Structure 1
Amino acid sequence: MAWDDEYDVVVAGSGAGALAGALAAASDAPAAASDGLRTAVLEKTSLVGGTSAYSGSAIWLPGTRVQERAGIGDSTESARAYLRALLGDDGNAAHREAFLETAPELVEFLERDPAIEVEWRAFPDYFDAPGRIDMGRSFVPLDLPLERLGELAGLVRPPVDRDRTGRGHAPGRPLAQGRSLIGRLLLAITATGNADVRTGTALTDLIVEAGRVVGVAAMTAEGPVRLRASRGVLLAAGGFESSAELRALRGVPGGAAWTMAPDGANTGDAIAAAMRIGASTGLLDQAWFCPGLAMPDGRAAFTLGFRGGLIVDGTGRRFANESLPYDQMGRRLASAGDPFYLIFDSRSDGLPAISIPAAAPEEQLAAGLWHQADTLADLAAKTGLPAGALASTVERFNGFAAKGVDEDFHRGEDPYDLYFTGGKPCLVPVDRPPYFAAKIVLSDLGTKGGLRADPDGRVLSGAGRPIPGLYAAGNTSASFTGPVYPGPGIPIGTAMAFAYRAVQDMRRNQS
C-alpha cells in the first residue's frame, strides 16, 4: 500500500469530541511515560469546529474539580442517580459507568493545558429526577481573545449568523461559547507539535488490511490521498442531519434545511464508510431536537428560552409547555400537527425568546414568516388557523397567566422554565395588540444515531465484535442516552469523554 502520509492516529471531524480526542493523542501521556502520537485531524470543510462552534459550549462532565470549585454539590454519585433515573440500566450501564469514571480524569487532563480554561455556569439539568442539580452541573470555556489565537483564528468557524452570510469573526471581539472551546482545543493541539489539522479533506473510505482498519482514503482539492493510521482511526465527524435522503430513509423527523449543521457538513460520510466495512448502527431515527424559527433564507434558527407567548399547532390549540427544555419541546413538535406558530403581542420587544441567529422582525414580516394583526380574528385569517380555536386558546392561556398557574401544561413550575426569565413569571398574558404569529418548525442540533461502539469507543461489527483499529465518538456514534437529552452539554461532554477513552485504548493496544 502506497501512503501519502503516515500517522499514529487519524481523526475524522473537528468538533469538540474530535479535537478532544486529537489532543489526547498528540499530547505526552505522563502516567504512561509515553510521547505524543503523530495525529491528523481531517475536516471536510474549510473551517474547524462543526456544530460545536455554533453551540453555547456547555459541557456536561459531572463530578469533576470544576463543580467542586463552584461548590454546587455535584458528585459522580448524584450524576449516576440522575442518569439511572432517566435511562434505566437496560443496555447502557457499562457506557454510563465508563462516562462517569472518565469525566474527572478527562477534566484533569484538559486543565493541565494552559490553553484550556473553564468555569461552572448555571444552566439547569433538564429533568426533575433524583440526582438533578437545579442550577445545573455543566461548565463552559472562558472567552478567548482573538489575538491569542493569532493566525489560527481564521480556521475557527464563526457564529452561525456570520457563518451563514459568509462573514468571519467580528473584529476586536473575543471568541465566545463554542468558538472559544474550539479555539482553545486548537491552541492546545497545535502546541503539542504532533498534530496536523487538514481542512478541505473529506474522508471517503476506510482502508482495511487483514481485518484491521489501518488508514483512510480522503479527497482534497488537489485530489485523493491515502493516510496511514498505525494506532487507529477515530470517527467523530458528526451525524447525517444535512442529508435529506438519509433523514427520509431513516425516519428522522424535521428536515435537512432546518438543522443547525453548517453548510456542506454532517452528511453521514463517516458513518457510511464504516457501514461499508461491516459496522453496525443504532438509533438512526433519533436527533437532538429543538424548536426552530423559520428564517427568510429557508433555514431555521435554534429557538429556546421562551419568556412569553404561546405555541399553537394547526388546530389553533396549545399542545405543550412552551418553556420545556428544547429537546423535549422538539419532540412535542414532532408528535403534533404542523403548521406551528408562536403567538405573542406588543408586550414583547421582538420575539419573546432567544433565537440563534437572531431574527429581525421587519425581515420576518416581509418574508411572510411572521404575521401581524390588530385582532386575533385577523391573525387567524392571515395564518389559516381556525379563528374560534385560536381565540379560545388565547383566552384560556390569559386566564392561566392571571392566576399564575398553567392548569394544562404546568408551565412555570420547573426551575428550567424560569431560568431564562430571571425568575419572573413565564406565563405572560397575550392581550395587547397588535398580535404576532411567528412560524415555528422542528429543528435539531444534529442526529444522535450512528455507529454502535463499546465503552472504549471501539466500533462494533454486525456480530457485536470490535472492528480492530476503528473508533467512534460524538454524533457519528449511537448515543448511550438513547432518545433522552439529560442536560445542557451532554452531546459535547459525551463526545469528548468517549473520544478520550478511544485514544487511551489506542495507546494500550499498539499495533
Structure 2
Amino acid sequence: MTQEWDEEYDVVVVGSGGGALTGAYLAARAGAETVVVERAGTLGGTSAYSGAAMWLPGSPVQRRDGVADSTESARTYLRALLGDAGADKRESFLAEAPALVERLEEDSALAFRFRTFPDYYERPGRVPGGRSFIPLDLDPGEMGDLLGLVRPPLDRDRAGQGNDESAPLTAGRALIGRLLLAYHRTGRGAVSTDTRMAELVATSERVTGIVAVQDGRRIRIGARKGVLLAAGGFERNEGLRRAHGVPGSAGCSMAPAGTNTGEAIEAAVAIGAATELMNEGWWCPGVPMPDGQPSFVCGFTGGLVVDAHGARYANESLPYDRFGREMQADPDRTPSYVVFDSRTGGRLPAVTQPPWGDPAAHLDSGTLVKAGSLTELAALTGVDAGRLTATVERFNRFADNGKDEDFGREADEFGHWFGEPVLRPVREAPYYAVRLVLSDLGTKGGLVTDASARVLRADGTPIAGLYAAGNTSASFTGPFYPGPGIPIGTAMAFAALAAKDMTG
C-alpha cells in the first residue's frame, strides 16, 4: 500500500539522549538515511545533564587502564544482584557492550577514558574502583555550528541561557556533542528539533513512520526500515505518574522542563505494545534550590539525615538510588532534613547538581534554615526537639569513634569516593537544616522489548519496525540500579542492537 509522507527516511529516531544518538549514528554509519526527531529546541535531554558515566563492561577502555573488569565479572555481578530475571536481555547487553565501544572508538569524534566510580552494591563480581567510563572533554571549536544544538549546562539551561562558546563540553554534554559530531560526519543524518511526536503510523504488517507536530502543523515522517523510540520516560507527566503510582512528583524530577512526558510510550501502547515496571524510577534525593527547582544530591561528606520525627533511618552515604528507595519506605521520610553544623559555613556537605551556590541565597529563600541550637533548629523544621537532640548526640558518638553502629556509614567503598571522613560530628553552632525531597533521574518503566530492542505485544510477539531503548523501554535491571552509568550504558547498547536489526 502506497503511503504519502511529508518526509521519508530509512530510520526515524525519536529522542536525542545518549541512547538515541548512538542508534542514529550507527544506523547512518551503516548507510541508512536517518533523522533524529526531538521535541525540544536542543539535543541531549537528561543525558546532557548527567555525569555521562557509561556502564559498558569488558570494553577496550577498561583494558587500557588495567581495570580488573570483564564480561564474565559483570555477568557474575548482575546475576548476584538481579537473579535470572531478564537473562536474555542481560546476555544481549553483555555481548553487545564491548563490541559497541570498539565500533564507537573507530570514529575519531568518539573518545573515552576510564574514571574511578564504584559500583553500587557489594556483590560478587564487583570491581574495586568500578568499571564505568566517561567521554573526553570536547573543544567547542570542533563543533562549529552544531554547538547550538547541544543542550546547555543544567544551571545555564534553567536560567534560560545558551552555551558558553568559550567553555569545553564536559560530562553529558561532551557525550552528546561527540555523538552528534560523529552522526553529522556520516553525511546521512538529519536533525529535526522542536518536533513533537504525536503518534505512530502502522499497517497491518509493520510500523511505517510517525506523525509529528512541527510549527503547529502535523507532518508525516516515513521510516522505510524502522522507528526507534528513545525519548526518555514520563517523569515530567504528573497525570501518568499518578496513574501508574510513581512516587515523587513531576516537579521534583531532574529531567529538563517540557520534556519526557511519555508520548512515545503512549503512542506505542495505542498500537498494541506491552509495558512493565511502570511504577519504577531511577531515584535520588534532591534539595530545593532558591528558584524552586530541585538539585540532585549525593556523596554526603558530613551531616546526617533525619525523618519528620528527628530520627535517622539509613546510611546517608548510600548510592543515590538506594537512598531514594529508603526515603520511599515510610511516608514520614518525605521530606527529610539534612542537619549539619558551622564547619561548612552553610554550604551543604554533599555533591549537588546544579551546584549548591551561595548559602545566603538559600537563607533568603528559606531553602536553608539556621539556628543557634538544635532545639531552635527543631522548631524551625517542625521535628521533635528531644528526638533530634538524642539522634545527633548518638551520631556524634559514632563519629568520634569512627564507626556508625546503626547503619555502617563508614564501611562501603562508595561512601568514601566523595571524600574523607564520611563521619563528622555535628556539634559546632550555628546549626543548619536543608529539606530533602524524593527526586528522580527518570522513570524506568516503559515498553517491553526483546534482546534485539524490538517492541513486544502482550503475547510476546514483536511489532515489526518498532524498537525502543533507554527509559522509553522497561529496564532489565528491574528495581535495582547496579552501578554508575547503567541507564546510559544500557540505552546505548540496546539502541545499537536496534540499529543493527534495522540495517542488517
- The interval holding the TM-score normalised by the smaller chain is over 0.9
Q: Paired residue for 1:107?
A: 101
Q: Paired residue for 1:49?
A: 44
* Cα distance per residue 1:311-353 (max 9 Å; x no partner): 0010100000000000000111111313311000111141100
> Residues of 1 paired with 2:499 and 2:248: CA distance?
34
Q: Paired residue for 2:246?
A: 252
8 Å CA contact 2:53, 2:488 repeated in 1:
yes
What letter matches 2:379 in structure 1?
A: A
Q: Paired residue for 1:8?
A: 10
> Residues of 2 paired with 1:136 and 1:295: CA distance?
31
> Residues of 1 paired with 2:326 and 2:291: CA distance?
25
What letter matches 1:5 in structure 2?
A: E
8 Å CA contact 1:294, 1:440 repeated in 2:
yes
Q: Paired residue for 1:403?
A: 401
Task: Describe how 1:490-501 pairs up with structure 2 within 5 A.
Answer: 490-501=486-497
8 Å CA contact 2:338, 2:433 repeated in 1:
yes
Q: Paired residue for 1:369?
A: 367
Q: Paired residue for 1:441?
A: 437
Structure 1 residue 367: deviation in Å?
Answer: 1.4
Structure 1 residue 503: deviation in Å?
Answer: 1.0
Q: Tell me the SS of whatever aligns to 1:454.
A: coil
* Cα distance per residue 1:116-173 (max 9 Å; x no partner): 0100000000100000012010000000011110111111001111100101123411
8 Å CA contact 1:257, 1:298 repeated in 2:
no
User: Does residue 199 of the first structure (1) align with residue 193 of the second (2)?
Assistant: yes
Work out which of the residue numbers 270, 277, 282 in structure 1 matches 2:276.
282
Q: Tell me the SS of whatever aligns to 2:77.
A: helix
Structure 1 residue 210: deviation in Å?
Answer: 2.3
8 Å CA contact 2:335, 2:438 repeated in 1:
no
Q: Paired residue for 1:135?
A: 129
What letter matches 2:354 in structure 1?
A: P
8 Å CA contact 1:58, 1:140 repeated in 2:
yes
8 Å CA contact 1:7, 1:38 repeated in 2:
yes
> Residues of 1 paired with 2:339 and 2:205: CA distance?
58
Work out which of the residue numbers 313, 325, 329 in structure 1 matches 2:323.
329
> Residues of 2 paired with 1:84 and 1:56: CA distance?
26
* Cα distance per residue 1:3-28 (max 9 Å; x no partner): 00110000000000000000110003
Work out which of the residue numbers 27, 30, 34 in structure 1 matches 2:29.
27
Q: Percent identity?
A: 56
Task: Describe how 1:142-153 pairs up with structure 2 within 5 A.
Answer: 142-153=136-147
> Residues of 2 paired with 1:303 and 1:321: CA distance?
14
Q: Tell me the SS of whatever aligns to 2:479.
A: coil
Structure 1 residue 296: deviation in Å?
Answer: 2.3
Q: Paired residue for 2:392?
A: 394
Structure 1 residue 415: deviation in Å?
Answer: 0.5
Q: Paired residue for 1:32?
A: none
Provide structure 1 residue ranges, at least 5 long, that are not aligned to the other structure. 29-35
Work out which of the residue numbers 133, 139, 161 in structure 2 matches 1:167.
161
Q: Tell me the SS of whatever aligns to 1:347.
A: helix
Structure 1 residue 108: deviation in Å?
Answer: 0.7
What letter matches 2:5 in structure 1?
A: W
Structure 1 residue 113: deviation in Å?
Answer: 0.6
Greater displacement, 490-499 / 219-228: 219-228
> Residues of 2 paired with 1:266 and 1:125: CA distance?
27
Structure 1 residue 222: deviation in Å?
Answer: 5.0
8 Å CA contact 2:335, 2:435 repeated in 1:
yes
**What is the aligned length?**
498
Provide structure 2 residue ranges, at least 5 long, that are not aligned to the other structure. none
CA-based RMSD of the aligned residues comes to 0.8
User: Does residue 355 of the first structure (1) align with residue 331 of the second (2)?
Assistant: no
* Cα distance per residue 1:15-74 (max 9 Å; x no partner): 00000000110003xxxxxxx100010000101000000000000000011100010110
User: Does residue 231 of the first structure (1) align with residue 225 of the second (2)?
Assistant: yes
User: Does residue 78 of the first structure (1) align with residue 73 of the second (2)?
Assistant: yes
* Cα distance per residue 1:268-325 (max 9 Å; x no partner): 0100000000100000000000000112222210001100000001010000000000
| TM-score for the superposition, normalised by structure 2 | 0.98
Q: Paired residue for 2:466?
A: 470
